[in-house]
Structure 1
């Protein structure tokens, strides 16, 4: 017991008289020794921070071959981890860039579809406004609409084509589906009303010019 106390006291005296650099080397050597023992128990290698901490003192330390191999394996593992992290970052950046490009393209497509819907709707509204105006004028004059059955059928066919075009445009514009749904529903309701109106006109007598 006395020998152990004397040994510890001697070690303390030597440590106190050592220079700051020597103290740091001893501290690092003890750190490596402890981490190596921890590796034997838990298979836990040195981290990147640990390697940075001991790096500048390694050339000054006399380490066993097993300990040197432990440090070397730790460095390899840290390098692999850093490379993997770099690859993941690049992959994420590329993925985000691609997603942004797709989103931008989708937005332009949706905007184009939206504009097409408005143009088609405006054209259809103008056509039926003209029809209503003509109907009103003719009915006021003679109570009849001057339109042949062929013209009525052609207009009904155009209405059907327009409705089909609206449905296709809605299907192609997934990005704007929720925003356009209410507008397209309104257009379809108007189209149904116009169809009903035309169906009523189909049975109306055709005005022919009276012979003088």
Structure 2
């Protein structure tokens, strides 16, 4: 028995009250995390809406259904296809507005997205005034091909993916390394992507 002034509390009752308080504390922590997460998500959605207005484009949210099972692919399946106007080669953005993939296959009510770190990923990009082809690699870094050795491309230059369907560009990453090639007419350019391909719950198609 424990004595607190004029109150007598059994050990079992005391432990029960302590555990109840602990449970309430955990619940409050979870609610606080959920609230913080909702605030963060709301901010990101507002950012995307502003992005959409600035670029005069339509951005459609797509829920990720599954990951394509493969050791050599980096692709996901998303809800929404021809039924909502999704088209092949449409750029796919993450919740921060960074390029994270492109639509590779479209079905009636779902689509396949090839992510930027897939070896089959490719898209036209612009670095300063130079155009090239951005390709994915399993290592995580990206490669840019067909930019002339004489081009003014250097480390830390931003890389913009081009969408000819919408006449817009979307930031893909930053040049990590740019070197002239002695064996060809084109530079060796490595790009660090801004988007993290995994995990995604929702991605955004550009229409």
Fold in common (TM above 0.5): no
Give TM-score scaled by structure 2 length: 0.27
Which of 1 and 2 has greater Rg? Answer: 1
Larger helix proportion of the pair:
1
Larger strand proportion of the pair:
2
